[in-house]
Structure 1
Amino acid sequence: MDVKTPKSSSNGFTTEITLEKLHKMAAELILPGRFILRLLTAALEVVTNLLARVFGSTLVRRHFHLLLSGLVLFGPVLSFWVSKYNIFANSHHYLYRKFLKSTWGWTCIFAGSFILLLSLSARHSFSISLRHLSRIGIAGLLWWVCQRLLTFLEDAAGTCYEPMATAQDLQASATPLQPLLLLHEDQTKASCLKANMLWRGYEVSQDVLILCLCCLLLVEEMSVFGHHLSPGKPQQRSPGAPLRFIFLLCVVLLALWMFLLLCLLANFPKWPSQQLGGALGYLGWRGLYQGWYRLRPRWGCPGLPGEGIFTTTNTDKHPQ
């Protein structure tokens, strides 16, 4: 019994030293981690303050739609200088497959998160948050209606053709003329392309439409963040790192949508279907943010971004 006592005390002493060493090591690691975290937080505040000032400026709020319109109109001209062998000339590129077909989904997630965090940070009112989130739902409903209507019009105005020659014959043929085609009138565009046949008809680029609509929507929603950062505005809670981070992600998403739009126009120019898609996207934004959302609440409108959060009247509206 006397022999085991020193061992027990010795083990307890060793355990105490080990825990003390671990505590010191953790303290040494925590100090640099806190310094890096503070540095990243300061950088996030500086970057988001600058971006909020840019998107909240009158220049961006009044003329961003003109910049987007110029991009849609003159973007196809870049096809004369863009190489057809660049990585973005492949329609199966990763960006096209992962982002282009789910443009509205990404926009809904990031813009909805930003609206929710912004409204909860400024006002602790769930009803106000739902009212502002309804703008995303209304825009999504508009996009769904446009999709169904454009698909119906394309199926009604187009025609499906089946080539009489095989694919090998078409590749071996040196003449640029199309071979004789057999007509299929009972096919839709989706079923025609799925059967590896040719579709001819009028169409409106739905990709350009949703990209333009999402870009304009993101700019409208982000433009009020600078108002939230104003020191003279009454607010219950200062914007934290999660709200600033979501705002930064929205800016990155906007840059990605504009880049994808430029890639589509430069590598796959389709006149005038892309311009018609851009025009419909602009009209959708104009009808919502410059029309319906400016009406009084009795018309069932959710109001403009920031209305009811920073202002109680309709005086703080976006400039025309």
Structure 2
Amino acid sequence: MWVQMVLNSVLVVLTDLAARLLGNSLCRQHFHLLLSAVVVFGPALSLWVSQHSVFAKRSHFLYRLFLRSGWGWTCIFLGSFVFLLSFSIRRSLSLSLRHLSRLAVAGGLWLGCCKLLDLLENATGSCYEALQPGSEVANGQPLLVLREGESKCECLKAGMLWRGYEVSEDVFLLCLCCLLLVEEASVFGPYLSLGGTSDAPLRILFLFCVLLLALWIFLLLCLLAYFPHFPTQLLGGALGCLVWRGLYQGWYRKGPSWCCPGRPGHGLLNTKISSTETEDAMIHNHYH
């Protein structure tokens, strides 16, 4: 029994600290700047990291287990947290689905952007075949022969090289997921400050979201440090920030309607207060 009490106390302390940090207006307003600085200056870490590290291999289990399904992990934990928080407050399935629709919209934009990036790379790229070993230019790079009429898929299946206009989809995904996690999970801090109640499952889901945010930042740093491709990674980070700004700093601020899911926390932060004007003031302070 005492073990359960200790674990519950630790959970409350950790989640309260994390909620206070994410709910802080300075963190909310400037997190995208911090993320931008990481993308811009992160490749400089390649000067200090060892290429013999386990994180320098794309076959590392963190890349295979999390990076390739990053959007799925984000939807599972963040979607569960958003649904449980909204439903436990209002007991309204329609309101919970409306808040979940923000993730659906972001997922649709992510898939659409990935398709467009693939089309762009196919339209601007070319397939090259490396000559036999020994036929190298002065800098040690193998000579490449252009193969016309090959698509990217056919080129890669044949073991050849595809060179085109690329945007890093991995950095795009990680930046977008980090920004979504901060936007959605930061509601928990103002909710607790208003006296909202939260049981262990909700706090555990919130803690999982915080840990997932830390993991995405770590993987982003690993990609920038061990696999630096500055132009493509910079474009990927910029695209992620652009999607976030268009949604959370633009469209969602119009308020809930049939064509807009509204901002995170709208309709939820007035649990212990009587007027919607006070709620709107809390949300306004939360965003500004």
**TM-score, length of structure 2 as denominator length:** 0.92
Is the CA contact (8 Å cut-off) linking 1:122 and 1:310 kept in structure 2? no
Please point out which of 244, 258, 269 is paired with 2:217.
258
1-side partners of 2:213 and 2:255: how far apart?
29
Partner in structure 1 of residue 232 of structure 2: 273
Gaps of 5+ in 1: 1-33
| Distance apart, 1:176 and its partner CA | 2.9
| Distance apart, 1:54 and its partner CA | 0.6
Aligned residue for 2:50, secondary structure, equals: coil
Listed one character per residue, the Cα deviations across residues 85-136 of structure 1 (whole Å, up to 9, x for unaligned) are 1111111111111111101000010110000110012111111000000001
Partner in structure 2 of residue 309 of structure 1: 268
Gaps of 5+ in 2: 271-275
- Following superposition of structure 1 onto structure 2, how do residues 160-309 of structure 1 map, counting pairs within 5 Å? 160-165=127-132, 169-170=133-134, 175-230=138-193, 232-233=194-195, 238-298=197-257, 300-309=259-268
Evaluate the alpha carbon distance shift between residue 184 and residue 174 of structure 1 in structure 2; reply closer, same or farther with a 3 A threshold: closer
Partner in structure 1 of residue 287 of structure 2: 319
- Following superposition of structure 1 onto structure 2, how do residues 18-167 of structure 1 map, counting pairs within 5 Å? 34-165=1-132
Is the CA contact (8 Å cut-off) linking 2:255 and 2:263 kept in structure 1? no
2-side partners of 1:228 and 1:297: how far apart?
19
1-side partners of 2:142 and 2:174: how far apart?
36
Is the CA contact (8 Å cut-off) linking 2:127 and 2:155 kept in structure 1? yes
| Distance apart, 1:162 and its partner CA | 1.2
Listed one character per residue, the Cα deviations across residues 275-319 of structure 1 (whole Å, up to 9, x for unaligned) are 000000000000000000001334611011110112546542343
Aligned residue for 2:230, secondary structure, equals: coil
Partner in structure 1 of residue 273 of structure 2: none
Listed one character per residue, the Cα deviations across residues 180-211 of structure 1 (whole Å, up to 9, x for unaligned) are 43322322323322321111122000000000
Aligned residue for 1:119, secondary structure, equals: helix
- Which has the higher mean CA deviation after the structures are superposed, 221-230 or 294-303? 294-303
Listed one character per residue, the Cα deviations across residues 65-101 of structure 1 (whole Å, up to 9, x for unaligned) are 1110000000001111111111111111111111111
Is the CA contact (8 Å cut-off) linking 2:129 and 2:160 kept in structure 1? yes
| Distance apart, 1:164 and its partner CA | 2.6
Amino acid at match of 1:319: Y
Amino acid at match of 2:287: P
Q: Percent identity?
A: 59
1-side partners of 2:113 and 2:12: how far apart?
39
Partner in structure 2 of residue 14 of structure 1: none
2-side partners of 1:189 and 1:282: how far apart?
27
Is the CA contact (8 Å cut-off) linking 1:162 and 1:183 kept in structure 2? yes
| Distance apart, 1:218 and its partner CA | 0.1
Is the CA contact (8 Å cut-off) linking 2:136 and 2:142 kept in structure 1? no
**TM-score, length of structure 1 as denominator length:** 0.83
2-side partners of 1:180 and 1:173: how far apart?
5
Is the CA contact (8 Å cut-off) linking 2:127 and 2:146 kept in structure 1? yes
Aligned residue for 1:132, secondary structure, equals: helix
| Number of residue pairs the alignment of both structures matches | 279
Amino acid at match of 1:97: R
Amino acid at match of 2:255: R
1-side partners of 2:257 and 2:205: how far apart?
32
- Which has the higher mean CA deviation after the structures are superposed, 143-152 or 298-307? 298-307
2-side partners of 1:50 and 1:298: how far apart?
34
Listed one character per residue, the Cα deviations across residues 224-283 of structure 1 (whole Å, up to 9, x for unaligned) are 1012212x45x5xx2100000000000000000000000000000002000000000000
Aligned residue for 1:43, secondary structure, equals: helix
Say which one has the larger Rg: 1
Is the CA contact (8 Å cut-off) linking 1:113 and 1:246 kept in structure 2? yes
